[in-house]
Structure 1
């Protein structure tokens, strides 16, 4: 599929913005990129173009965060179920409309973010963590396979566990990386990620990483409390946008 130079420029700017947000709060690249690109290109094409930049930026985030094995051991249940459910769902995603999924996903994200900002968010005790990882891992994988967006269930899980800022960044980087891998293979297998689109998507990694470095620099000057407020505020806006897209895309 040929994309005009004007649209490519807009897409590159979108990835620069999305990369900056990701560098700042550790998540949000696919949600922001897909939401904004969908204003100028088909939503399914936007999802496809996001997969490779998402994968590359999370490899970088995992490397920068360190403690890879420790993080993987702590979240292995979430990781395993995420990989399996994303790959299985991605194989059938070509024939499934994402509108209903976007409406449900956006509603959950918006309601949770608002309740959290009002200090009404649920808390998950340590003894219930295995069950929480199981439920949220499956939910994230199913949503991710259809829409390439699985950060919202991940964020709900991590904020409900009251994860500190640095661990939050490490966990999101690792869990989005392990989910990006089966999603990438799934989209190649179902024919959506063609060699031409893969080349374009790979080039978009450049503005993403530039933005990531900028956001990472800004994160140093934000306290943990303000960090969580920024995360939840951004997700409230993104959740509302997902609902809008589900109804009007």
Structure 2
């Protein structure tokens, strides 16, 4: 698969990664969610996911490296990470070929679920004794959702948020989960022939607007109420998810 480098596609991708980077800069997550949601309205989900690889990997490694307790978190979360890799590789091909339309619909459903959780007052708690078996299950499901939609927030983000981590630990744990998911997704797409040299170059180019958006988002974060921004963000995802999921009615 190659990226169609016409002016319209380039403009859409540039604006999408600017916005996605901005969202991540403000609230610490959302780059793949926004990018996949917007790009999937104008291109196949597998191509959108391929463009996502380099910006997602670099920004998540940045987020992972900034935290204080990588070793402790890696020891605690490794069963979940193995589940993420296994689930993603097991779902290789979900976004490709004749499944592209179903993948876009699945992405819409995933965005709706994520937005609904974000807008709700629901807060979960996972007891330490349950982490041993629940972590791998959450990882496996997250991997399968990643393989089908290119979005790796469900159910990983609610689960990590329920572990009782401190703010800095949670940000680093999200960075770890997203980094592993990105690498696993890249391997799955490469195995299916979707992440080739031409697409890799376009994905690397998409890093520039993503980083610009992130820096601007970080600047805005200190000047805008985060709760208000998060609410607007999740409402926007809800609308976007409903639009993608409505393809099933056509």
The TM-score with structure 2 as length reference comes to 0.84
**Structure 1 unmatched runs, 5+:** none
- Structural mapping, 1:3-152, within 5 Å: 3-95=5-97, 96=99, 97-116=102-121, 120-152=122-154
Task: Give deviations 1:202-222, integer Å, cap 9, x for gaps.
Answer: 111111122223333444568
Q: Secondary structure at the match of 2:41?
A: coil
| Partner Cα distance (2:137, 2:239) in 1 | 23
Conserved in 2, the CA contact under 8 Å of 1:23 and 1:212? yes
Root-mean-square deviation (Å)? 2.6
Conserved in 2, the CA contact under 8 Å of 1:24 and 1:212? yes
By how many angstroms is 1:166 displaced?
1.8
Moved more, 88-97 or 229-238: 229-238
Q: Secondary structure at the match of 1:98?
A: helix
Moved more, 77-86 or 6-15: 6-15
By how many angstroms is 1:172 displaced?
0.9
By how many angstroms is 1:28 displaced?
0.8
By how many angstroms is 1:115 displaced?
2.5
The TM-score with structure 1 as length reference comes to 0.85
By how many angstroms is 1:229 displaced?
7.1
Q: Quickly say closer, same or farther: Cα 1:241–1:67, change in 2 above 3 A.
A: same
| Partner Cα distance (2:136, 2:230) in 1 | 23
Q: Which residue does 2:160 correspond to in 1?
A: 158
| Partner Cα distance (1:123, 1:58) in 2 | 25
Conserved in 1, the CA contact under 8 Å of 2:55 and 2:203? yes
Aligned length: 243
Q: Which residue does 2:246 correspond to in 1?
A: 247
**Structure 2 unmatched runs, 5+:** none
Q: Quickly say closer, same or farther: Cα 1:87–1:135, change in 2 above 3 A.
A: same
By how many angstroms is 1:236 displaced?
4.9
Q: Quickly say closer, same or farther: Cα 1:244–1:131, change in 2 above 3 A.
A: farther
Conserved in 2, the CA contact under 8 Å of 1:25 and 1:169? no
| Partner Cα distance (2:115, 2:207) in 1 | 29
Q: Which residue does 2:236 correspond to in 1?
A: 237
